[in-house]
Structure 1
Amino acid sequence: MNHITYPEMRQELIEYLQGLADPQYQRRVWVDQLLEDGVQHDEFDYAVHFLFDDTALASDPHSTIGWILKDASEADTVTAVVASIEAVFAKHGTKLSDAEYIELPEWHSVVATAATAVACIAAQ
Structure 2
Amino acid sequence: MKSVEFPERRGEVISAVRALSDPEYQQRVWIERVYPQPEFFDDFTLNVNILGDAGVWDSPRETIGYTLVSVAEAEAMESLIARLEEALEGVGSESPDSDFLASSFWPGVVEAARNALALLTQ
Identity among equivalent pairs (%): 30
For the pair 1:108 / 2:80, whether they are aligned, the reply is no
Superposed CA RMSD in Å reads 1.4
Q: TM-score, normalised by structure 2?
A: 0.94
AA paired with 1:114? A
User: Does the residue aligned with 1:102 lie in a helix, a strand or coil?
Assistant: helix
Question: Which sections of structure 2, spanning at least 5 residues, go unmatched?
Answer: none
Matching residue of 2:75 = 76
Matching residue of 1:9 = 9
AA paired with 1:107? W
Q: TM-score, normalised by structure 1?
A: 0.93
Question: Which sections of structure 1, spanning at least 5 residues, go unmatched?
Answer: none
AA paired with 2:55? A
Shift of 1:38: 7.6
Shift of 1:107: 0.5
AA paired with 1:21? S
Aligned length: 122
